[in-house]
Every structure is written in C-alpha cells, then in structure tokens.
Amino acid sequence: MNQGKKTIDHLGEFGFIRSIMKGCMQNPEGVIRGIGDDCAVIGPYENRVFLITTDLLMEHVHFLPGPKSYRDLGAKTVAVNLSDIAAMGGVPRHLFLSIAIPSGMFVEDLSQLYAGMNDLCGLHRVNLLGGDTSASSDGLLINITLIGEADPAAVLYRNGASPGDAIYVTGTLGNAQAGLHLLTGKMHAPQDISEQLIVAHNRPQPRVETGRLIAESLLASAMIDISDGLTSDLGHLCEESAVGARLFEKQLPLSEELKIFCRVNNLDPRAIALSGGEDYELLFTVPEKNADLLEKQLKRQGYKLFKIGEIMRQSGLHLVSSEGLERQINPSGFNHFSSEAP
Ligand code: ADP
Ligand code: MG
C-alpha cells in the first residue's frame, strides 16, 4: 500500500525544509525574514526588530543517552540557541523551554539541567518566561525558543555575500567533533588534551558579543553559525547568497589539542575542521575593502578572527590544498536522515 511513497530518509533534512517552505506565509506583513536563516526576523517595532529561533535536543540523536552531566546538557541547549541569535548579530533576551521527560527520571538530574541553563542565561542576562512539560515515551527531549532583538540596519543575513568577499571564522574548528569521538570511546588522547576537547563538545561558548560587534560595525555582508560543520554551513550561506566559495586549507584555524588528538589517532585535522559540527563559531563574509578595518576593530577589542577563504561567482565549494592544488568539494557535516548524509 505504501509502495512508491517517498520517505523522509529520501528527502533528507534540508530537502524536507525546502519542501514545506511553500505555503507557510499566510500574511507577510511585519515579516522581514521567515524560514531559511538562523533566526526569523519580525518588525520593525520602534526601530528594533525581534529575532526568533528554536532548536531541539533529543536524547540518542543530539546527545548520548544518560548524559554524564545534566548541567552541561542544560548549558548546551541554551548555547545552541544563543549561537543562532549571535549569527544574526542580535542581543538575546527571553526564552521559552518545553521538555518531554521520560518516566523515572531523577529530579536531581532535572535540577542540574536547569542549573546549566541558568549558568548561560545568567551570563547573557536572558529570562526564562515559559514553556511546556510533557511525559516522553522515548528519551528526554528539550526544545528552546529564544527571542532576541537588534537594530534592523545591522542584522546580518545568510544571503548578503558577494563575489570577492573574504570569508572569516571566529575561532578554531574541529575541537567539538574530536570531543565527541572521545566521548563515544572511539578514539583516545592524553588526559589533559582529552579533557579540553570534551569541554569543547559539552560546553560550547556561543559568540554573542563577537556577532553583535561584527553586525554593528556595518562592515560585514553575511553571517551564519557553524552548527553542522564548516563546509555544510558555508554551503547554506552560499546557497542563500547564490554564490560559491574557495577555502584555503593552510588557513584553517586548528587548535594544538586537535593537532595532538589527530596525531595520536592517525587522522587529518584539516578534514575534521572542514566537516566536524558543533563548534558554534561564527562564519562571516566581508567585502575586501572593509576587511582590514574590521580585522583591526575586532582584534583591538580582543576578539579572534581567521580569514579562511573567499566568495566566488561560480557556484560550488572549492578547496585549495596546502600544496596549492584546487579541487571541488561537497559540503559535508551533520544532517538528519541518512540519504543526504556524507
Ligand atoms: P540552524 O542550524 O541555524 O538552527 P536549521 O538548519 O535547523 O538552522 O534550519 C534552517 C531554517 O529552516 C530555519 O529558518 C528554521 O527555522 C527552518 N526550519 C527547520 N525545520 C523546520 C520545520 N520543521 N518547519 C518549519 N521551519 C523549519
Ligand atoms: Mg544556525
């Protein structure tokens, strides 16, 4: 009876999102951006816009079953949403939290989860204003909706990149992926290195202040956060901007911990930096004429940034190897449902 019917595995995560976009907008008044960016943007209201983002974390899918630290998990749930507000250059303000709890879960673990959320909410002065609670038949599920605000003239979208723009990231890439390999027991590393990589995976630091400074400088052209992986998220930015990109392997920022981890496990750190997800660094593009000034402004205020490539007119992603050879690459990174997976 179901023969010939397409399944979600066939469509893939991003194919599914594309498929439901048509017909979503019933009244475009007051909607500046709907589906397709890190946040929806609505307004303006008295010269400000609201940024709204939602993300869910599901046991077994987004985090390993029976996490060691519910405090880390709570902090991470807030961090991934903060990162989407950061990617538009906004200030996070209020959040709503819905949770589906499996029967038998310890109250102490739930308290720890909320303590972790409060750690990050306190740091960014974000209020928890409501949510919903349900029983779960299959693992813990947490969903956050976060509301931020911004100056409408400063908001950075995924679709603003132009050929010739320089591509930057705000920090080293690949540490979170290495941390995940260590947590799943697939690989090993000396203890101090191992601890640092696991912290990178469990406690990502969303670049909220950096994102706001980049946007308010009015010098950048587009921005996205790296949640799925560098090439995957750069691919989204390029698709929205109708451009391609060239990355320089030599310029990928790699931490010393990642280099040691890769040496011990016989891996190429550049491959992990290209496709590893969950670093929650920002990727942004800057017209060449503004690049020096923005670099100076950010560095003067103590923020890191690394130039890793350039936007091209020709679509697709290209990688220039350390030896200077250029080849086309496919975006790779985390993608729900298997058919689109690398
Ligand atoms: P991010 O990784 O920045 O959280 P996603 O890749 O999850 O972004 O989502 C891309 C866009 O698609 C966003 O605008 C998001 O709100 C939207 N989106 C994702 N899933 C759905 C869905 N099931 N229904 C409607 N919009 C969705
Ligand atoms: Mg995002």
Q: What is the pLDDT of residues 100-131, one digit of tens each?
A: 999 999 999 999 999 999 999 999 999 999 99
Q: Which of 13, 14, 17 to mutate to test the pocket of ligand 1 (most atoms within 8 A of CB)?
A: 17
Three-state secondary structure call for residue 239: helix
Query: Which residues in 71-102 are b (16+ Cβ under 10 Å) and which e?
Result: bbbbbbbbbbbbbbbbbbbbbbbbbebbbbbe
Instruction: Decide which of 14 and 252 is more confident.
Output: 252
CB 325 less than 6 A from any atom of ligand 1: no
| pLDDT tops 70 at residue 334 | no
What pLDDT was estimated at residue 302?
Answer: 96
- Here the tokens at position 241 are 């901007």
CB 12 less than 6 A from any atom of ligand 1: no
pLDDT tens digits, one per residue of 268-291: 999 999 999 999 999 999 999 999
- Here the tokens at position 197 are 């990589």
Q: How confident is the model at residue 248 (pLDDT cuts 50, 70, 90)?
A: very high
**Dist. CA 306–CA 21, nearest whole Å:** 34
**Dist. CA 71–CA 202, nearest whole Å:** 10
CA of residue 77 to ligand 2 center, whole Å: 13
Averaged confidence pLDDT in the chain: 95
pLDDT tens digits, one per residue of 130-164: 999 999 999 999 999 999 999 999 999 999 999 99
Instruction: Decide which of 6 and 339 is more confident.
Output: 6
pLDDT tens digits, one per residue of 19-35: 998 889 999 999 999 99
- Here the tokens at position 223 are 């921005």
Long-range contacts from 104-110, C-beta under 8 angstroms, 24+ separation = 105/140, 109/70, 110/70
CB 25 less than 6 A from any atom of ligand 1: no
Nearest to 55 by CA among 231, 206, 170, 234: 206
**Hey, whose CA ends up nearest to atom 23 of ligand 1?**
17
Ligand nearest to the CA of 240: 1
What pLDDT was estimated at residue 341?
Answer: 33
For the chain, what percent of residues have pLDDT higher than 90?
90
Nearest to 236 by CA among 228, 82, 79: 228
CB contact at 8 A, 197 and 336:
no
Rounded to two decimals, the pTM is: 0.95
Angle between helices 70-86 and 191-202 (to 10 degrees): 60
Atom of ligand 1 nearest to the CA of 38: 3
| pLDDT tops 60 at residue 340 | no
Give the strand pairing for 306-312 and 244-248.
antiparallel
Residue 129: enclosing H or E segment and its boundaries?
strand 127-136
CB contact at 8 A, 289 and 219:
no
| pLDDT tops 90 at residue 2 | no
DSSP class per residue in 248-315 = EGGG----HHHHHHHHHHT--HHHHHHH------EEEEE-HHHHHHHHHHHHHTT---EEEEEEESSS
Compute how many other C-beta atoms are within 10 angstroms of the C-beta atom of residue 250. Answer: 12
| pLDDT tops 60 at residue 339 | no
Mean pLDDT throughout 251-261? 98
Q: How confident is the model at residue 186 (pLDDT cuts 50, 70, 90)?
A: confident
CB 31 less than 6 A from any atom of ligand 1: no
